Amino acid sequence: MNIVVCVKQVPEPTGTNRIDPKSLRILREGVDSVLDPADEFSIEAALQIQEANPGTNVVVVSMGPDRALEAIRRGLAMGANKGVLVSDANLAGSDALTTAKVLAAAIKRENPDLVLCATESSDAYTGMVPGGIAHHLGLPLLSYAKKLTLAGGKVQIERQTEAGFQRVEAQLPAVVTVTGSINTPRYPALKGIMQAKKKPVDQLTAADLGFSPEQVGEKGAKEKVLGWAPAEQRKAGTVIKDDGTAATQIADFLAQLKVI
């Protein structure tokens, strides 16, 4: 069985993203970059399947600059078998749709039974790529999985919704996006980190995947960012001092938010 996990290198998520005022792209230079923590959940999900089904091949696929190799290495350190990095100067400035198209082409080469993605990246948050991949591969998409099980050539998930969850399933191969509540990702052992250095990583260009320079990157982009504005500052919270009615006050507050 082949599982492909899509990963992305993002600026250290605890930092504040800086935006280049001209290109309106996130500035990635001079910022610590890490494997998107959201992707660790999909890698972990794949590795758990691998542990339960020996012989399963887990491939980590990413599109990004050369240094995105570090993010792939992290996935390999966790236990994935192989990496694929699509890296090409022509790809710079690709929009989400192009990214999905390129990733889909790279994934297809791996002949996957299951493609796992995070629901969205922790830097740009478009959330469009998994859907795009499923479209280009012609596969069903099961999204927001908080639980994932494989049986009888099918994948079944519990799909997180606001009200609870839905149980949905699809015939393999399929694309599944996973949420942060699906598992606790493992921390790579040093042994894994060292072994990761010796694991194979295919480095591909857009041309390798059959794309001309016009089809990808800025030129191929069909989306355009028009502007940006900082999010509204979070208002100061309310401090409730317990004079005996704190519990009621908290309950009222939660009821007001319709949480309870």
CB of 184 to other proteins, least distance (A): 6
- What is the CA angle 20-25-26, rounded to 5? 80
How many other CB atoms are found less than 10 A from the CB of residue 257?
Answer: 8
Site membership for other proteins, residue 34 (CB under 8 A): yes
What is the spatial distance between Cα 222 and Cα 123, in angstroms, rounded to a whole number? 20
Q: Mark the segment that binds other proteins (CB under 8 A) among 96-104, 109-117, 170-178, 192-200.
A: 192-200
Q: Which of residues 207-246 bind other proteins (CB under 8 A)?
A: 236-237, 239
CB of 228 to other proteins, least distance (A): 20
Site membership for other proteins, residue 127 (CB under 8 A): no
User: According to CB under 8 A, which one of 184, 205, 212, 245 is a site residue for other proteins?
Assistant: 184
> What pairs with residue 166 in β-bridges?
159
What is the spatial distance between Cα 16 and Cα 38, in angstroms, rounded to a whole number? 17
Side-chain half-sphere exposure of 125, counting CA atoms within 13 A: 4
* Closer residue to other proteins in complex, CB, 15/21: 15
CB of 111 to other proteins, least distance (A): 29
170 Cβ contact partners less than 8 Å away, ≥ 6 residues apart? 140, 142, 154, 155
Q: Which of residues 3-32 bind other proteins (CB under 8 A)?
A: 12-16, 32
Which residues of this chain interact with other proteins, rule CB under 8 A? Answer: 12-16, 32, 34, 37, 184-194, 236-237, 239
